[in-house]
Amino acid sequence: MKVNGRCHCGNIRYEAEIDPGKVTMCHCTDCQMLTGSAFRANVQTPRETFVLRGGALKTYIKTAESGNKRAHAFCPECGTPVYSAAIDDPPFYSLRVGCLDQRRELRPSRQIWCQSALPWSMNVQAIEKLDRQ
Ligand SMILES: [Zn+2]
Ligand SMILES: [Zn+2]
């Protein structure tokens, strides 16, 4: 499936090919901090299908507790996270679903790092719902 993404300020624009059956929610503590939210939704794209159509990404090298390093690409103007990838010759990018125009169709099929999930985030069904703020 072809997807288009952009950052919040519009500086960064890109296209990629993804498998809509491979959307993952990640509850790891790094994703919580780097999104400022409860979890992150990701989908893998083969690196060769990712095409940057505008702007230049900035990269933050994150070191995990395990010592594993990953490159996190984001917009240098507005800070929107775009993807993460292995440092050396990555075969895939992990795209951030919230920045893709097609995000409504990209329902996750798997949740990972549930051991660090915020307990309330595993069931938001009972939380009061308003159409707008
Ligand atoms: Zn931006
Ligand atoms: Zn994570």
pLDDT tens sequence for the chain (133 residues): 999 999 999 999 999 999 999 999 999 999 999 999 999 999 999 999 999 999 999 999 999 888 999 999 999 999 999 999 999 999 999 999 999 999 999 999 999 999 999 999 999 999 999 999 9
Q: How far is CA 123 from the centre of its chain?
A: 21
Q: From ligand 2's centre to the CA of 47, what distance in Å?
A: 19
73 vs 81: CA distance, rounded Å: 6
Distance CA 49, CA 34 (A): 25
- Which two tokens mark 130? 């308003």
- Among residues 8, 7, 27, the alpha carbon closest in space to that of 108 is found at 27
Q: For residues 69, 72, 77 and 79, what is the CA-based torsion angle, rounded to 10 degrees? A: -100
The one-letter code for the residue type at 62 is K
State the pTM of this model: 0.93
Q: Which residues surround ligand 1, an ion (CB under 5 A)?
A: 7, 9, 11, 75, 77-78
Tell me, in angstroms, the distance from the centre of ligand 1 to residue 77's CA. 5
> Strands across the sheet with 40-46, in order?
58-63, 69-74, 81-86, 92-96, 40-46, 23-26, 110-112
Q: For residue 60, report the distance from its CA to the centre of ligand 2, in Å.
A: 15
Residues within 5 Å of ion ligand 2, judged at the Cβ atom = 26, 28, 31
